[in-house]
Amino acid sequence: MGSAVDLRTASAADAEAVATLHADSWRRHYRGAFADTFLDGDLVADRLAVWSERLRSPKPDQVTIVADVDDEPVGFVHVVLDDDVRWGSFIENLHVTNALRRGGIGSALMTRAAQVVAERGRTGGLYLWTLEQNTAAQAFYVAHGGSPIERAYAAEPGGVPGRLNGRPAKLRMAWANAHDLRRR
């Protein structure tokens, strides 16, 4: 990748770009686990409602970081600090625009998320859920020192019934301490 990656805290003005990137990533990578009717419906509007709300009035325990290349958002990560008493802070979303995958942007976002947890989290741990079918993401997390430690069934996106295809599984990836995240 030729251009530099700039990381910054997301603002309300990013809602549309983040929602569009999120919807595109779900359509590419979550098909099979999420229902086609959900993925092929007005997914951008669904994601826009979520991101507009999140970024308009960010909660004090939540941080969204955007990666820009040439002043265009090309990736994002959302962190919920101290979400779980046992597992610590939660990476709720991490997505990189398809054309720039495998260029180090995900690593830059993950490293910044771990820094935020190390600086602001009361508990040191870090975890996330990834779909069992998403073996590429699992390879990415393992490359950063994460371990799959639990299998469970995925929840319906947004809590709305009918958005899943059958009963897909998810894996919990965890780091005992955000400092343990392997930098790349």
- The binding site for ligand COA (CB under 6 A) comprises 25, 29, 94-96, 101-107, 130, 134, 136-137, 139-140, 143, 184
Least gap, CB of 137 to ligand COA (angstroms): 4
Residue with Cβ nearer ligand COA (88 or 106): 106
Phi, psi of 114 (to 5 degrees): -65, -35
Question: Does residue 183 sit in helix, strand or coil?
Answer: coil
Residue with Cβ nearer ligand COA (6 or 122): 6
Torsion-angle region of 70 (φ positive above 0: left; ψ -120 to 50: alpha; else: beta): left
Residue with Cβ nearer ligand COA (63 or 105): 105
Least gap, CB of 100 to ligand COA (angstroms): 7
User: Which residue's beta carbon is nearest to the bound ligand COA?
Assistant: 106
Residue with Cβ nearer ligand COA (81 or 97): 97
CA distance 88 to 38: 31
- Angle, helices 43-56/15-29, rounded to nearest 10 degrees: 140
Tokens of 8: 């910054």
Least gap, CB of 136 to ligand COA (angstroms): 3
Token pair 């101290």 in the structure block, residue = 82
Least gap, CB of 16 to ligand COA (angstroms): 18
166: which DSSP letter?
S
